[in-house]
A = this chain, B = another copy of it.
Amino acid sequence: MPLKRTQSAGYMTNWAARLFARAIDQKLKPMGMSSGYLPVFFALADGTARTQKQLALGAGIEQPTMAATLNRMERDGWIEREKDGEDRRITHIRLSAAARDKAQDIQAIVNQVNETALSGLNSLEQRVLLDALGKVTMALTRTEENQKHPVPK
């Protein structure tokens, strides 16, 4: 018998993710930021440079998606790219000075949306939610790896 959609973890996760993105994008838009930039922004926020590959891996997205995101971030003045002197395949990516200046504001907006989203949950429920999402991503990541390398080396 069919699952009611609010009882499907996949559907509810997708729905919540879209609402998160809508809420965050709405608040970040006035400053030229957007939800897709956030993983890159936070990965670079400590001032160090990363390669495109490292950023994609850290954000859990595919390399071509990261390439497109970095193009938009460069266009919007959030990042700078610099070719490696040794290995000319590699490009180092770092936040622009202007971007570093806005770190506080961005963090505040993100925190505020997260707090709003979690406002109906007590602290136990919040912990279980984060823990459960961690376990879900682990389970799905594992099956994904099995698809890609059917016979692990």
Contacts and interface: CB of A to CB of B under 8 A. Distances in A.
A9 B143 contact: no
Interface in A120-153: 120-121, 125-126, 128-141, 143-144, 147
Interface in A49-73: 60-61
Interface in A1-41: 2-3, 5-24, 26, 35, 38-39
Contacts of A6: 130, 134
How many copies of this chain?
A: 2
Interface stretch (A74-82, A83-91, A92-100, A105-113): A105-113
A36 to B, nearest CB: 10
A139 B110 contact: no
Nearest to A134: B6
Given A19-B140, A147-B26, A2 B45 contact: yes
A144 to B, nearest CB: 6
Contacts of A5: 39, 42
A22 B128 contact: no
A77 B110 CA distance: 42
5 closest Cβ pairs, A-B complex: A17-B17, A19-B140, A12-B133, A120-B135, A129-B132
